[in-house]
Homo-oligomer: A and B are copies of this chain.
Amino acid sequence: MEILKGNAIVGQSGGPTAAINATLSGVIRGALASDCIGTIYGAYNGVEGMLAGTYCDLTAFFADETKLTTLETTPAAALGSCRKKLPKLDGSDPTAEATYEKLFAFFKELDIRYFFYIGGNDSMDTVAKVSAYAKAHDYEIRVMGVPKTIDNDLVVTDHTPGFGSAAKYIATSMAEMLRDCAVYTVKAVTIVEIMGRDAGWLTASAALTRLNGMEPDLIYLPERAFDLEQFFVDVKAALDRHPNVVVAVSEGIRTADGTYVCELVSNSGTDAFGHKMLSGTGKALELAVKERIGCKVRSVEINILQRCAAHLGSLTDITESVSVGKAAVEAAASGLTGKMMTIERVSTDPYVSRPGCEDIDKIANMVKHVPDEFINEAGNGITDAGVAYLRPLTEGESYPAYHNGLPVFLSLK
């Protein structure tokens, strides 16, 4: 194993999660502990900051290590994020060469020999490209992707850092809404829309409430074609059982012909400004139930709250997110490059996991769906096997410190 000495840079990319800063903390902890890494720099807004030369010295900032625990319970990317994809290296993009030259000039200037990128699918694409360019141009650098996404839709890893906290927040909020909806005796339907365009992992986590005694009557994921007529049958049957029906739906559910449910309703209306009224999936189903069943109905969209609720993180998730960040540094120091860190599930009960890693090329642009055995036959609920997979990921409570009644968050910008 070859020892490589130099500085490191870390960036964050893609949508916010409650755990992305825990992973950043893990990377910083790993770098501070490593003999190979001199200074660890933080790029503002991912590769955008590396191209613009906007960054900070994290080694200096975190000389006081107590700040790291605050960072671990601070939601959303503390370094800022970006959606930028690096240009293709196949010669199809005339700006490519200039972009990579600028990026690598920045690396040379700061003697960057370690590159850590925390993000989702698109970010792993960046890791793959930086790795490939470095190899082709003989610039010695160890390039590691560290996954994060609330969507849990990355392949090769048992689950993604950030998912467990979002799942815990959704399940807890669902448990509370089930109580909220149960107080009246009048027949009513509540439709809760949960994030997930292509994969239903977050929506499935609403079924965790089974472990607490009350659960949604119906759960629909994008993994199964949605049938509006069958939905009415399902809802009516639930209303026959009890007055307060609660339904969880993924934002991305679509009918067999591929039409998003939200498009079923948003086609005809225009607002006072002449705009098409774009309603969400929950709202669309609310209107459909009102029309066809006629009972009291409302929809709730958990929206961005589910991806940034650091006030109730999963301790398992936050702990693993730190570990996987640290392990990324150790893996790079040991000689690995062009890899994405993973979490391997060693056992479910008792729950044991460990960090692993896989070639970055195996990951980019693939989606991990909820498997068939986690979805019931009717396609409107989650099996006990699904609940068993999800449960350990939400175990334990991660709370931030509070001051003046508000959580204390850390600012790096």
Interface residues of A (CB under 8 A from B): 12, 16, 45, 48, 74-77, 80-83, 168, 171-173, 175-177, 179-185, 190, 208-209, 211-213, 264-273, 275, 277, 279, 284, 287-288, 290-291, 298, 300-305, 307-312, 314, 391-392, 394-397, 399, 402-409, 411, 413
B303/A406 in contact, CB under 8 A: no
Give chain B residues whose Cβ lies under 8 Å from the Cβ of A270.
268-269
Question: In the bound complex, how far is the Cα of B175 from the Cα of A411, in angstroms?
Answer: 12
- 17 residue pairs A–B, Cβ–Cβ below 8 Å: A16-B180, A48-B185, A80-B182, A81-B183, A172-B406, A176-B311, A176-B407, A177-B304, A177-B308, A179-B308, A180-B307, A181-B304, A182-B413, A212-B406, A267-B272, A300-B301, A392-B405
Name the CB-closest residue of B to A46. B183
Give chain B residues whose Cβ lies under 8 Å from the Cβ of A314.
405
Give chain B residues whose Cβ lies under 8 Å from the Cβ of A176.
75-76, 305, 308-311, 407
A171/B405 in contact, CB under 8 A: yes
Give chain B residues whose Cβ lies under 8 Å from the Cβ of A287.
271-273, 275, 277
Give chain B residues whose Cβ lies under 8 Å from the Cβ of A290.
273, 275
Distance in angstroms from A309 CB to nearest chain B CB is 6
Give chain B residues whose Cβ lies under 8 Å from the Cβ of A208.
404-406
Contact of A303 among B77, B272, B273, B301 (CB under 8 A): B301
A16/B272 in contact, CB under 8 A: no
Report which residue of A75, A265, A303 has the largest number of chain B beta carbons within 10 angstroms of its beta carbon: A303
Contact A16 B269, CB 8 Å, known A212-B406, A406-B212: no
Report which residue of A173, A277, A298, A411 has the largest number of chain B beta carbons within 10 angstroms of its beta carbon: A277
B212/A409 in contact, CB under 8 A: yes
B48/A309 in contact, CB under 8 A: no
Distance in angstroms from A62 CB to nearest chain B CB is 19
Contact A184 B82, CB 8 Å, known A212-B408, A267-B272: yes
Distance in angstroms from A77 CB to nearest chain B CB is 5
B399/A395 in contact, CB under 8 A: no
Contact of A300 among B75, B305, B395, B411 (CB under 8 A): B305
Distance in angstroms from A219 CB to nearest chain B CB is 16
Distance in angstroms from A2 CB to nearest chain B CB is 36
9 smallest CB-CB distances across A and B, nearest first, come from A269-B269, A394-B405, A180-B308, A81-B183, A76-B179, A273-B291, A211-B404, A212-B406, A176-B308
Question: In the bound complex, how far is the Cα of B264 from the Cα of A308, in angstroms?
Answer: 31
Distance in angstroms from A15 CB to nearest chain B CB is 8
